[in-house]
């Protein structure tokens, strides 16, 4: 395929939406550092340039080659999670690995690795097989193993997004509703067991979510300050660099988990609404590609990536607005974080490759 044909078929509208979010993120991080490009905004912009380059580069890779690499990528991701347990670093947790002076978080690319492995598995299964629960057991292991390894770190937010992204692919593959309902009942019944496995600080976060006013200067401080900042922004906000909660450092983690709150304080409900609209358009754009491509592997991969973007956004926004416990989840392409951003750009590159090299993959079963 010629270079011009590849460039023509790249979904540039997805990159445009991603660029808008990156621009918003750069401005937010500039504000978070009180009007300076250091230490966050400048690096965020540079990483974005690297990310856009990755998208275009991956678009030239034949999508069938990506399919062949899906299982090796999954096993490498598992090895990365095991390596974190052995030699990982972090403040009270083990989530990062340093190689050659570069620090990254293996759990982030694992989300995409799980989606690719599941899409490969289900693309090779005849439709009749998928009526039996037996054929879903390997898929459950593909999700459960990395989920457990990430949970051990501990990183509940990333584990949940990995889990829900995988479950979406399993459901899209044709999981019968009777199994869905059975899984919901089992999940509800397992809540007491899950509670016992949580760390003390994770239990504290859930209790704070249920009653943040009970410890407003302690465990409830983050969410209380977040709500104050969001509420004080009103409809159109206080103005760029004018947010009192963020500029006076009352708002914690304003460059990562609570960047949505800072934007709400400075640009109000209108600014937050605009961001949510861009995320919605981004997820829908990827889903539309999943409806157009012929390959079953491409369809499931695009669905998984679209919903992963959505879960990234949903968990962060629900967390900072008090709709769910604070679990530690960045706002995609806006929060400061290199591994998270580059993982998303790699996933956009995979979507671009699926759109550019659209055809039935060898060995796929007809549906």
| Long-range contacts, 75-78 (Cβ 8 Å, 24+) | 76/113, 77/106, 77/109, 77/110, 77/113, 77/114, 77/146, 78/110, 78/145, 78/146, 78/149
The residues, ordered by sequence, that sit 6+ positions from 120 with a Cβ below 8 Å of its Cβ are: 67, 70, 71, 297
Task: Express as a percent the part of the chain with pLDDT over 90.
Answer: 41
- Cβ neighbours, 10 Å, residue 198: 15
The reported pLDDT for the residue numbered 364 is 63
Task: Name the residue among 185, 168, 163 with its Cα closest to residue 327.
Answer: 163
In the Cβ-directed half-sphere of 22, how many Cα atoms lie within 13 Å?
Answer: 23
The predicted pLDDT at position 347 comes to 95
**Cβ neighbours, 10 Å, residue 195:** 11
The pLDDT, as a whole number, for residue 88 is 63
Distance, CA of 277 to CA of 272 (rounded, Å): 9
> Residue 332 has what DSSP assignment?
T
Residue 174 has pLDDT above 70, yes or no: yes
Query: What pLDDT, in 10s, does the model give residues 118-144?
Result: 999 998 888 777 777 888 889 989 999
- In terms of phi and psi (left: phi > 0; alpha: psi -120 to 50; beta: otherwise), the region of 10 is beta
- For range 208-236, the mean pLDDT: 74
Q: Is 322 left (phi over 0), alpha (psi -120 to 50) or beta?
A: left
Averaged confidence pLDDT in the chain: 85
What's the rounded Cα separation, in Å, for the pair 266 and 241? Answer: 7
User: Hey, is 160 helix, strand or coil?
Assistant: helix
Reported as a single tens digit per residue, the pLDDT across 180-196 is 777 777 777 777 777 77
For residue 203, pLDDT over 80 is answered with no
- pLDDT > 70 in the chain, percent: 89
Q: How confident is the model at residue 348 (pLDDT cuts 50, 70, 90)?
A: very high
pTM of the model: 0.88
User: 41-59 and 338-356 helices cross at what angle (nearest 10)?
Assistant: 20
Name which of 256, 245, 226 is nearest 334 in CA terms: 256
- Check residue 130 and give its pLDDT: 74
Q: Residues 211-232: what's their mean pLDDT?
A: 73
Contacts of 265 (CB under 8 A, 6+ apart): 229, 230, 232, 233, 237, 238, 243, 244, 245, 246, 251
**Residue 173 — pLDDT band, cuts 50, 70, 90?**
confident
* Residues comprising the chain, all counted: 367
pLDDT band at 106 (very low <50, low <70, confident <90, very high): confident
Angstrom distance (rounded) from CA 50 to CA 73: 21
Sequence-separated (6 or more) residues with CB below 8 Å from residue 313: 276, 279, 331, 332
Yes or no: say if 41 and 33 are a contact pair by the CB < 8 Å rule.
yes
């Amino acid at each position: 395929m010629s270079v011009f044909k590849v460039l023509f078929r790249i979904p540039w509208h997805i990159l445009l939406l991603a660029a808008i979010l990156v621009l918003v993120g750069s401005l937010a991080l500039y504000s978070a550092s009180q009007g300076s490009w250091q230490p966050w905004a400048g690096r965020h912009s540079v990483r974005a340039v690297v990310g856009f380059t990755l998208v275009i580069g991956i678009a030239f890779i034949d999508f069938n080659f990506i399919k062949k690499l899906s299982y090796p990528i999954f096993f490498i991701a598992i090895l990365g999670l095991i390596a974190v347990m052995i030699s990982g670093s972090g403040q009270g947790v083990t989530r990062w690995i340093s190689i050659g002076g570069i620090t990254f978080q293996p759990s982030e690319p694992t989300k995409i690795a799980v989606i690719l492995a599941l899409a490969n598995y289900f693309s090779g299964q005849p439709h009749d097989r998928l009526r039996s629960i037996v054929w879903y057991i390997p898929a459950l292991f593909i999700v459960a193993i990395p989920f457990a390894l990430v949970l051990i770190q501990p990183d509940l937010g990333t584990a949940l997004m990995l889990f829900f992204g995988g479950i979406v692919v399993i459901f899209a593959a044709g999981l019968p509703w009777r199994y869905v309902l059975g899984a919901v009942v089992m999940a509800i019944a397992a809540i007491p067991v899950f509670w016992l496995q949580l760390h003390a600080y994770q239990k504290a976060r859930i209790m704070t979510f249920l009653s943040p006013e009970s410890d407003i200067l302690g465990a409830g401080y983050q969410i209380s300050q977040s709500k104050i900042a969001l509420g004080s922004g009103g409809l159109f906000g206080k103005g760029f660099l004018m947010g009192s909660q963020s500029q006076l450092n009352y708002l914690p983690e304003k460059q990562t988990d609570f960047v949505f709150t800072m934007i709400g304080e400075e640009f109000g409900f209108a600014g937050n609404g605009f961001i949510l609209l861009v995320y919605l358009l981004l997820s829908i754009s990827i889903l539309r590609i999943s409806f157009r491509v012929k390959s079953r592997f491409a369809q499931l991969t695009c669905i998984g990536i679209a919903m992963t973007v959505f879960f990234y956004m949903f968990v962060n926004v629900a967390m900072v607005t008090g709709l769910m416990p604070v679990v530690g989840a960045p706002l995609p392409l806006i929060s400061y974080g290199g591994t998270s951003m580059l993982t998303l750009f790699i996933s956009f590159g995979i979507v671009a490759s699926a759109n550019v090299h659209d055809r039935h993959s060898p060995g796929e079963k007809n549906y």
